[in-house]
Structure 1
């Protein structure tokens, strides 16, 4: 389950309640995304809070963009989160899709490539291995609880990105806009093949989609409002055109059937993305998710 970090008017009470309900089960992971030029919480600050608010669930960044951070400081922050959570951190990373976020922190848009991300991952892994990255007296710490650092998931919707990440990632944390299971399985097959050719164990296969729980026309209208707000870098008429077929909207039985179709193609996890901060929607999804725990 993803926290509603992109929703308006959030406060600590809302985020804490969501985190604790997710931690109570039956969810396997608690996720949150990153943007800079937006009203969402800072990813690393939130990681610290979630480490304190939860005890069981894995904490997954979906995704954080290394090119928007100094790689040594990012490695230090993530290692701290892994330590505070007792080794429950998984790091989903991606190149990011918004120039305004790069501009906001003075990052070079030329680094918005898989090569730029891989170079930063290599530095982060050196930090997590306890290597000195400068001539300092001591290496950068703390050491992560998980040997070698948290598992890394590449955030992607394209086969080229999947193939290029096979050498350093432990799996993929993709997304599907239209819930096309056949296309998703084709991408999973790309990952399975790439990991095998790299001589690595089979990848952790995760995908995500937006959801809105309810009956009638209300859920689809909720989805539309969320997309209009979140996709604010896309012309509104384009968002309006895609809104009727983006994400999933409906009731418990329908969601159960959708999850079964993804289970059938070997999906290890689905990171559901809320389009409302209404805690009732989370509880309704929990009633469905318990059948998959």
Structure 2
């Protein structure tokens, strides 16, 4: 694989056993990703769930890492006051030395909106864009009121962190081309043709706005079987069951029978070599980065995937 596409690793923040060993699991994952061949360390936001709070976690991973980029995939601005969110993210950018990328989205759970008293009617791309615009003004040092000083601290990155929009829809892409820096998508069923069409649409939409080339990132769930030569991973045949268990926990807002119907074709379940081949196919589509989403909390998964990523420059198996 060329140096063009990077592979990011998501923290296991949505796993049911995450807190059994305290914060040590998260720290072990963060340090292992930072030490590995990964382009980014990712983590997402939910409210009515047992995951860690995203902005608090940003501070922790800023301290646990020194080189890897930190990506929120995704934070939902409508769940926050946009000025306070801008201040928190600028603080995170300061703490990590300018390594922050902000993925934003409208979120998929109305219960998260209701949990914080946010209006579910704002779960729209228009409201998302308005809040990002406010955040960018804060990052630029503009005063939201007639206060004596602007809302600081200023972010390390000039103009603020890169902003990617979490989307899978054409309409959202066209809207986001006016204000986002790229995509932070997700593919449920690894439909590479659909991902390719979305990437093409994004390139066209950004070009129409005269904004150059967007950053193109996507993500998918994964579980590894052992390779033919052995290695870390669930016992043979258990990778798909691992994905299924994760989806049952994470997609708790959907009927269980619907999740069960989705599980056989959602995400990746296979050997390290098959994962390497899949990642090469994403690179062929022009992806700048692929974010892998774990379906278990064992830190040994990071080591197994690190071997895959490090070996991507080799021949296709």
Runs (4+) of structure 1 exceeding 3 A deviation are none
TM-score (norm 2): 0.91
* Among 110, 122, 132, the residue aligned to 1:121: 132
Mapped pair 1:240 → 2:260: yes
The alpha-carbon deviation at position 25 of structure 1 amounts to 1.7
User: 2:312 and 2:182 mapped to 1: Cα distance?
Assistant: 20
Report which structure shows greater RCO (CA 8 Å, sep ≥6): 2
* Among 263, 273, 290, the residue aligned to 1:253: 273
TM-score (norm 1): 0.99
Match of 1:148 in 2: 159
Question: Structure 1 pair 292/72, CA: closer, same or farther in 2 (3 Å)?
Answer: farther
Mapped pair 1:9 → 2:17: yes
SS in 1 for 2:293: strand
Counterparts in 2 of 1:54-73, with a 5 A limit?
54-73=65-84
* Among 55, 79, 89, the residue aligned to 2:90: 79
Match of 2:31 in 1: 20
Provide, for residues 106-143 of structure 1, a one-character-per-residue CA deviation record: whole Å limited to 9, x for no partner.
00011100110011011101100000001111110000
Mapped pair 1:223 → 2:256: no
Question: Structure 1 pair 235/86, CA: closer, same or farther in 2 (3 Å)?
Answer: same
User: 2:16 and 2:312 mapped to 1: Cα distance?
Assistant: 30
Counterparts in 2 of 1:84-163, with a 5 A limit?
84-163=95-174
User: 2:175 and 2:111 mapped to 1: Cα distance?
Assistant: 25
User: 1:292 and 1:163 mapped to 2: Cα distance?
Assistant: 33
The alpha-carbon deviation at position 152 of structure 1 amounts to 0.2
User: 1:162 and 1:30 mapped to 2: Cα distance?
Assistant: 24
Match of 2:180 in 1: 169
User: 1:107 and 1:292 mapped to 2: Cα distance?
Assistant: 44
SS in 2 for 1:243: helix
User: 2:120 and 2:65 mapped to 1: Cα distance?
Assistant: 36
User: 1:290 and 1:62 mapped to 2: Cα distance?
Assistant: 24
Counterparts in 2 of 1:254-269, with a 5 A limit?
254-269=274-289
User: 2:98 and 2:212 mapped to 1: Cα distance?
Assistant: 21
The alpha-carbon deviation at position 8 of structure 1 amounts to 1.8
Match of 1:290 in 2: 310
Mapped pair 1:189 → 2:197: no
Residues 78 and 106 in structure 2, CA contact (< 8 A), matched pair in contact too: yes
Match of 2:233 in 1: none
Mapped pair 1:35 → 2:43: no
The alpha-carbon deviation at position 9 of structure 1 amounts to 2.9
Gaps of 5+ in 2: 1-8, 227-235
Gaps of 5+ in 1: none
User: 2:150 and 2:17 mapped to 1: Cα distance?
Assistant: 40
Provide, for residues 7-55 of structure 1, a one-character-per-residue CA deviation record: whole Å limited to 9, x for no partner.
1232210000000000012000000010000000000000000111000
Provide, for residues 46-79 of structure 1, a one-character-per-residue CA deviation record: whole Å limited to 9, x for no partner.
0000111000000000000000000000000000
The alpha-carbon deviation at position 281 of structure 1 amounts to 1.4
The alpha-carbon deviation at position 292 of structure 1 amounts to 4.5
Alignment size in residue pairs = 293
User: 1:208 and 1:27 mapped to 2: Cα distance?
Assistant: 14
